[in-house]
Structure 1
Amino acid sequence: MLGRGRSDERQIQRTCRRKRIMIFELSECEAIIGYKFRDIELFRQCFTHASYANEHPGEKNNERLEFFGDKILDFVVTEYLFNSYPDEDEGKLTERRKNLVSKEPLTEVIFGLGLDGHINLGKSLAGNKDKNEKFFSSLYEALVAGIYIDGGLNEAEKFIYRTVLKNSKQQGFVSRQNKKAAKKDENSLVKSDKVASKENKKTEKKSEVLTLNAVSKDPKTELQEYVQKFKLGEIKYEQSGKTGPDNSPEFTEAVTINGKTVASGKGKSKKAAQKEAAASALKILLKNGKKEAKQAKKPLKKHKKVAAKAN
């Protein structure tokens, strides 16, 4: 994280007084994102929606930053996936990237960081923040661009690794300057992953039972692959409930396989609820093993009973 000198702090205070910004709010946001901006005007612009700028002449909106940040985010995540999954084809890599950088996961990141209440919106939109994921995904992309402009690619990468890639296959961040020196270590990690993968396949063949540990960080993809493997039928997700206030709703999503409800899940967004439902369905299917999975190909009766008990 970059620091600021006394003269920078005095400039920030003058800017805050002129723009009527709460100093503690800026400090709070900087602590959350893990980076201190040298250009406080740029930092404010990241949080300024076009509707607010239209009502306040002289304010700059975050649309250009969003455009730039989208490309930076795409590049960093694509490079990460390309290096982390050397054996996967373009289709699987594209699916992984979509699960990381589309509107819903970026919205979840902003809510998870607690930055959703800091967006500057116009009066006409101020009461509808929870209804438009683009407000929040745009904020994330604008922050990526802002950090890149203010501190460089290395700092932007750190932010992306801390927030979007923190739960991915290989945790931790290697700076761009140190990547060459770390290449040998990365190669050995890839080799270790391959060896571990081969060992896991041998164990699966011997036991002929899939274990709960097989559930990955992307349960929807895992469930899709499992269902296709054993030809269990079509997967569908349906919203079965919504509770809580408008500014903080909780969604309930049910997952059905071959027309039968297997499990349900809850979350702050529809995608989060679907992931929870997929994870629960996987646990039910994996618990019953390969035999149950083959029998489920018929009418999924046993899975229906298990799902009813679980719910």
Structure 2
Amino acid sequence: MSSTEELLKRLGVSIDAGTLRLALTHRSYAYENGGIPTNERLEFLGDSILGFSVTDALYRDNPDLPEGDLAKRRSAVVSTRALAGIGRSLGIGEYIYLGQGEKLTQGKNKASILADTMEALIGATYVSNDIETARQLVMRLIGPLLKDAAALGAGTDWKTSIQELAASRQLGTIHYAVDGSGPDHARTFTAVLHVGGTAYGKGSGHSKKEAEQEAAADAWRVLSGAGNTPGAASSAGPVPAT
């Protein structure tokens, strides 16, 4: 377990030791240690703060957007995928208290666990400070995503978005080629997305679904001409298949 001082430095907030430990306590660890409290209550609290903070920012910064578009943008930045990405960039996984089973299956890299822990940390920031401190944390974390108009336009379901884009341009059928590697307890999947027989996107993850979503996002950015957004493919055209 890494020093929590470094974690707080990355977050840019102060959280008292007890609340921070609670925010980092996954239910698998709690179960193996006599049923101690988990981070789920803080996660519940953080989810509400996250939702309100993002909604408020979107409402104020986009006076001309209709309700449906505001809702779609909010969904994009508070999704499990988005929060997990933030968690990975901060190295949150190294600090989470996990049970042995989750450790063996690389729980520290699972999108659901990372996203839930991020919400718990937002809740912990509120409990240890106040609503404004928690809101500022949310804006520091989510702000860059709110400015990524291309990614927001696709929403949370990249597979649906790329399917709609391919259909509108009559590019042909979509096919995912997925390969797995590594031992069963730490398996990694790689997906290549083919549109009309051409490979346009690659992705990887700890499940087939996650890898396919990453590949769909990669392909969507390429085909939509948004190749300069974070996580986009390195070129503006098809990618080599593997």
- Residue 8 of structure 2 corresponds to which residue in structure 1? 30
Q: Give the 3 Å change call, closer, same or farther, for CA 109–56 of structure 1 in structure 2.
A: same
Q: Deviations over 1:26-71 (max 9, x none)?
A: 111111211122x210011000012212222474210101111111
Using structure 2 for the length normalisation, give the TM-score.
Answer: 0.75
Q: Deviations over 1:84-116 (max 9, x none)?
A: 222222222222112111211111111111111
Q: Greater helix share, 1 or 2? A: 1
- Residue 216 of structure 1 corresponds to which residue in structure 2? 150
Counterparts of 1:107 and 1:308 in 2: how far apart (Å)? 25
Q: Alignment partner for residue 281 of structure 1, among 191, 215, 223?
A: 223
Q: Alignment partner for residue 42 of structure 2, among 65, 75, 83?
A: 65
Equivalent residue runs for 1:137-176 within 5 Å: 137-169=115-147
- Residue 136 of structure 1 corresponds to which residue in structure 2? 114
Q: Deviations over 1:155-204 (max 9, x none)?
A: 1112111112224239xxxxxxxxxxxxxxxxxxxxxxxxxxxxxxxxxx
Q: Contact 2:192 / 2:241 at 8 angstroms: preserved in 1?
A: no
- Residue 266 of structure 1 corresponds to which residue in structure 2? 203
- Residue 53 of structure 2 corresponds to which residue in structure 1? 76
Q: Which moved more, 1:127-136 or 1:231-240?
A: 231-240
Unaligned runs of at least 5 residues, structure 1: 1-21, 171-214, 286-305
Using structure 1 for the length normalisation, give the TM-score.
Answer: 0.60
Q: Secondary structure at the match of 2:46?
A: helix
Unaligned runs of at least 5 residues, structure 2: 228-236
What is the aligned length? 222
Greater relative CO (CA pairs within 8 A, separation 6+): 2
Q: Contact 1:47 / 1:120 at 8 angstroms: preserved in 2?
A: yes
Counterparts of 1:308 and 1:114 in 2: how far apart (Å)? 29
Q: Deviations over 1:271-296 (max 9, x none)?
A: 333222211222399xxxxxxxxxxx
**Structure index of larger Rg:** 1
Counterparts of 1:237 and 1:34 in 2: how far apart (Å)? 43
Counterparts of 2:14 and 2:187 in 1: how far apart (Å)? 29
- Residue 233 of structure 2 corresponds to which residue in structure 1? none
TM-align CA RMSD: 3.6
